[in-house]
Amino acid sequence: MELVVHFRAAVALLGRFPALAGIDLDVAQGQIVLLRGPNGAGKTTFLRACAGLVPVVEGEAEVLGCDLRRNPRGVRGRVGLLGHGTGLYDDLTVGENVRFWGRAARAEAADVASALALLGLDGRLRDVAVNKLSAGQRRRTSLACLLARRPALWLLDEPHAGMDAAARDQVDSLVRQAVAQGATVIFSSHESDRATALADRVVEIAGGVAVGPDLKVAADVA
C-alpha cells in the first residue's frame, strides 16, 4: 500500500519557533489517523504542513508523492484542510460560499450540490448568511466546501468541535464514506471516545514530534 504521507525528522517553523521538531510519521492510503496531544504540541502545524502551508526546513516531507520541501504548492489542489478558522465569507450565504470554493477548485456542480445535501445544508440554511449561523453550522459549511472538492487527503483539525451529537455522527459517516471511496483522513481531536472509535490509528503528538509507538492499531485496516 503506497504512502500518502511520509515525514522523517521533519522540522517546520512558525516564524522562528520550531512547531515541528523532527517528526516521523507515515500514513498509508485509506487510513484514518487520529492525532492526539496537549495544546501547542504541533497537531495543527502538522496538518497545515501536510497541506503545504507551513514550510518544512529540514528532514523529509512527502505528501501524495509531492516533495514538500522543494514544491510545497504541488500538493495544494489534492488536499482538503478543515482548520480553526472557518475559511468562509461572512456576508455571503452558505450556498454562495460552497459554490464559490467549489468552482474555485473546478469541482463539478453535482459535487457541490451533493456536498450541501450530505451536510444538511440544502434546505433553509442554504440561503442564510454565514454570519447568522451558529459555530457548529459554520463548521459544517466549511466541511461542505471541503467535501465538494473530493480531495485525496482530508486534514481535519478538531472536526467535531462545536457540533451537536447528530452533526458529529454526520461527520463520522462522511469520513468513513470518503475513505471507502479511496481518500485518506488525518484528524486531530479532543473528543476521546468518539475520535478513538473512528480512527484506525492513534498517534500521540508532543513537543513537535510523534511520541512512542501507535496507541492504537485497528485489528483489520481496510
Partner 1 sequence: MSDPTDSIDPFDGASVPAHTGSALTRVLGLSALAALVVWALYGLVWSPPDREMGDLVRLLYVHVPVAILFYAGAGITTAASLLWLRGRTPGWDALAVAGAELGVVFGALTLLTGSIWGKPTWNTFWTWDARLTSTALLEVLLIGYLAVRRVDPSPAGGSVRASILGLLLFPNVIIVHFSVDWWRSLHQPATVTRLDPTIEGDMLVALMVGMLAGALVFAWLLVHRFRVAWLEQQVERHDLDAAVAARRAEGGLSPSTSTSTSEAQPA
Partner 2 sequence: MWRDAALVAERDLRVELRSRVAINQVAPFALLVLVLFAFALDPDTGVLASATAGLYWLVVLFSALLAVSRSTSIDEVDGIRDALRLSGLAPAGVFLGKVAAVAAQLLLLEVVLVVAVAVLYDPELGGFPLMIATMLAATVAVASTGVLYGAVVSGVRVRDTLLPVLLLPVLAPVLIGATKAFETAFGAEGLHGWGWCGLVSFFAVVYLVAGSLAYGALLEG
Using the rule CB under 8 A, is 67 a contact of partner 1? Answer: no
* Region near partner 1 per CB under 8 A, out of 95-103, 105-113, 164-172, 213-221: 213-221
Touching partner 2, residues 61-120 (CB under 8 A) = 73, 76-77, 79-81, 83-92, 96, 100-101, 103-106
Q: Would you tell me the crossing angle of helices 135-148 and 165-180 to the nearest 10 degrees?
A: 10
Residues 6+ apart with CB under 8 A from 114: none
Q: Which of 129, 206, 211, 215 binds partner 2 (CB under 8 A)?
A: 129
Q: Which residues contact 67 (CB under 8 A, 6 or more apart)?
A: 61, 74
144, 123 in Cβ contact below 8 A? no
The site for partner 2, by CB under 8 A, has a size of 29
Stretch of residues binding partner 1 (CB under 8 A), selected from 26-34, 122-130, 141-149, 170-178: 26-34
Min separation Cβ 40 and partner 2, Å: 18
Residue 76 contact partner, candidates partner 1, partner 2, none, CB within 5 to 8 A by sort of partner:
partner 2
CA torsion angle 176 154 40 22 (round to 10): 110
HEC string of 91-126 equals CCEHHHHHHHHHHHCCCCHHHHHHHHHHCCCCCHHH
Residue 142 CA to residue 154 CA, distance in Å, equals 13
Query: Judged by CB under 8 A, does residue 129 bind partner 1?
Result: no
What is the contact mask toward partner 2 in residues 183 to 222, using x (rule: CB under 8 A)?
A: ----------------------------------------
Residues near partner 1 (CB under 8 A): 1, 3, 8-9, 11, 13-19, 21-22, 24-28, 30-31, 41, 55, 57-59, 201, 203, 205-214, 217, 220-222
